[in-house]
Structure 1
Amino acid sequence: MRIGLDMMGGDFAPAEAVKGVKLYLDTVASDVHLVLIGDEQQLAPLLADAQLDQSKYSVVHSSQIIEMNEHPTKALKEKPQSSISIGFHLLKNEKVDAFISAGNTGAMMVGTYYSIKGIEGVQRPTISTPVPREDGSFGLLLDVGINADCKPENLAQFAQLGSLYSQYILNRPNPKVGLLNIGEEEGKGNLLAQATYPLLKENKQINFIGNVEGRDVFTNKADVIVCEGFTGNIILKMAESFYDITHRRGINDEYIKKFDFESYGGTPVLGVSKPVVIGHGISKGGAFKNMISLAQQMLQSKLLEKITASFSNKEA
């Protein structure tokens, strides 16, 4: 199992990426071989200081970096030797089994669309976020940003993708799926919600429980909550602010600590045929370690094979 990691992506790269690699190799027992993609001159002293087991990683040199403010498509075309471009090349050619980056999110999405095949039957890939719940567990919210405008069919597919992710990664047997809405009753909401509800109700591959409201997001009423990316991203950013506010005010609360994005690392792109995990631009060592663990879990659980089979069955 080979996992590629962009060592140059993120505000604190490559130092924090190396810290994440060390955390992972020191604390997670696995047969994973890490392929570290980055500038060898910058990486060499950091890797030497980290005193890593050299049999557990290899380095692939990249001479270019796609900066956070660059236009994604243009940057990928003009910087073929960037760490992101090389990462997708390795993934496409099966030199790595998964690819992780905390770099330019747009470039990661463009790279995913053009380098990797989508799973047949999936109209649009989606990204999700774990949602801390008061009982200590995590729910799942999707989409959280890459699909600001959606059709009802898109939300129905997000529900199916999220249900499989919740089942095999978050270990929720028969996860409960809810549609985010302004009321619980069937028929509530805007045109999108009203048209999506019957599609979810008809889907035999999910455990649809009906509409859920904003007050239900951080409870265990639903394991998977579905919405379009505009609403989902607002909820995600608001939830992240909970941690920032309490941290600034010196409030120490175990539940609020779970809102620190470092605790889950990054988000996978669901609906494509190979594991791609996108991290926050301000990721530090703990987030990188958790992103590697997530990619490992996706591979070990054969999540993408299960998604492929699920959509194939639906078509049949």
Structure 2
Amino acid sequence: MIICIDMMGGDFAPLEAVKGIQLYLSQVSTPAMLVLTGDEAILQPLLNEQGIPPTAYKIVHAPQVIGYNEHPTKALKEKPNSSIGIGYHLLASGKAEAFISAGNTGAMLVGALFSIKAIEGVQRPTISTVIPKEDGSTGLLLDVGLNADCKPEHLNQSAILGSLYAKNILGIDNPRVALLNIGEEEGKGNVLAQTTFPLLKENNEINFVGNVEGRDVLLNKADVMICDGFTGNVVLKLLESFHAITQEKKIEHEYFDRFDYENYGGTPVLGVAKPVIIGHGISHAKAFSNMIHLAEKMISTSLLDKMKASFEGK
């Protein structure tokens, strides 16, 4: 198993990325081979200082870095030797089986769509977020920002991708899929919701349970909740602010702790042909470690092969 990590992406990279590798290695008995892209002159001393064994990794020198404020497409074109650009080259050429970065989100999405490309039959790849439910269970919400404007068939495909992810990665058997809407009854919502509902209802590849409302997002009424990226991103940012407030006000409760993004590592791009995981810009060691674990699980469960099989002939 070979996993590539962009070591230069993130507000606290590369040190926190290195510490994340150290944490990951302390948690597993048979680690994946880690291919690290970044400035070797900066990375090597840090890896040595943190006691990372040379047998655990290989550095691929990348002298350029794509900054957060750079235009994604332009930056990838003008900086082919960036840590993100080289990472995608390694993934596309089969020299890595998954790619992780907490760097420029736009560049990561552009690279996923144009370097790796969508699974044949998938019209629009999507991104998701894990939702901690109040009863201790875990759900999935998608899309959360990749596609602000969607067609009904895009949401129908997202339901299949989300269902496969929930089953193979979150361990939810026969996940319940719901459409996020402004009412529970069929026929509610805007044109997109009204036209998506019958497609989901007729989709025999998912366990569709109908509509859920905003008040249901944190309740255990569905395992996979589907919406357009505009709506999903609003919900995601609201939950992020909720977590930030509990931290600021020092409101301690085990449920609130589950809103910490570091627990989940990063967001996978679902619907592209190879595992791509995008981390939060403020990722620390725990998040990097969990992103590696997630990449391992995506590879070991053959998730991408199962997704490809679901869309054959579509």
TM-score range, shorter chain: over 0.9
- State the distance in 2 between where 1:218 and 1:28 align: 32
Deviations 1:274-301 (A, max 9, x none): 0000011111111000111100000000
Task: Report the CA distance between 1:215 and its aligned residue.
Answer: 1.1
Correspondence for 1:113: 113
Equivalent residues, number: 314
- In the alignment, the residues of structure 2 paired with residue 52 and residue 116 of structure 1 have an alpha-carbon distance, to the nearest angstrom, of 30
Can you list the C-alpha shifts for 1:228-284, whole angstroms capped at 9, x where unaligned?
000100111111112110111111110011111111010110001100000111111
Partner of 1:250: 250
Aligned-CA RMSD value? 0.9
Comparing 190-199 with 109-118, greater Cα deviation is found at 109-118
- The runs of 5 or more residues in structure 1 that have no matched partner are none
CA shift at 1:28, angstroms?
A: 2.2
Provide the rounded CA distance (Å) in 1 between the counterparts of 2:37 and 2:137: 34
Q: Which moved more, 1:157-166 or 1:111-120?
A: 111-120
Runs of 4+ more than 6 Å apart? none
Distance 1:108 1:284 in 2: 19
After superposition, what is the alpha-carbon deviation per residue over 1:43-64, rounded to whole angstroms, capped at 9, x for unaligned? 1121011111221111111100
For residues 122-137 of structure 1, the aligned pairs below 5 Å read: 122-137=122-137
Q: Residues 29-77 of structure 1: CA distance to partner in whole angstroms, max 9, x if unpaired?
A: 3341000111111111210111112211111111000000000011011
Q: Runs of 5+ in structure 2 lacking a partner?
A: none
Q: Return the TM-score normalized by structure 1.
A: 0.98
Q: CA–CA distance in 2 between the matches of 1:160 and 1:146?
A: 17
CA positional deviation for 1:137: 1.9
Distance 1:136 1:58 in 2: 39
Judge which range, 40-49 or 227-236, deviates more.
Answer: 40-49
Partners of 1:29 and 1:199 in 2: CA distance: 45
Partner in structure 1 of residue 78 of structure 2: 78
| Structure 2 counterpart of 1:13 | 13
Give a deviation string over 1:49-107, Cα, whole Å, max 9, x none: 11112211111111000000000011011111100000000001101000000000110
> Could you say what secondary structure the match of 1:58 adopts?
strand
Matched AA of 2:254: E
Residue 299 of structure 2 is matched in structure 1 by 299
How far 1:311 sits from its partner (Å)? Answer: 1.4
Q: What secondary structure, in the 3-state scheme, does the structure 2 residue paired with 1:67 have? A: coil
1:149 paired residue number: 149
- 241-250 vs 192-201, which deviates more? 241-250
Q: SS in structure 2 opposite 1:167?
A: helix
Aligned-pair identity in percent equals: 65
**2:268 corresponds to which residue?**
268
Kindly report which structure 2 residues correspond to 1:138-217, keeping only aligned pairs within 5 A, or say none. Answer: 138-217=138-217
- TM-score for both structures, normalised by structure 2: 0.99
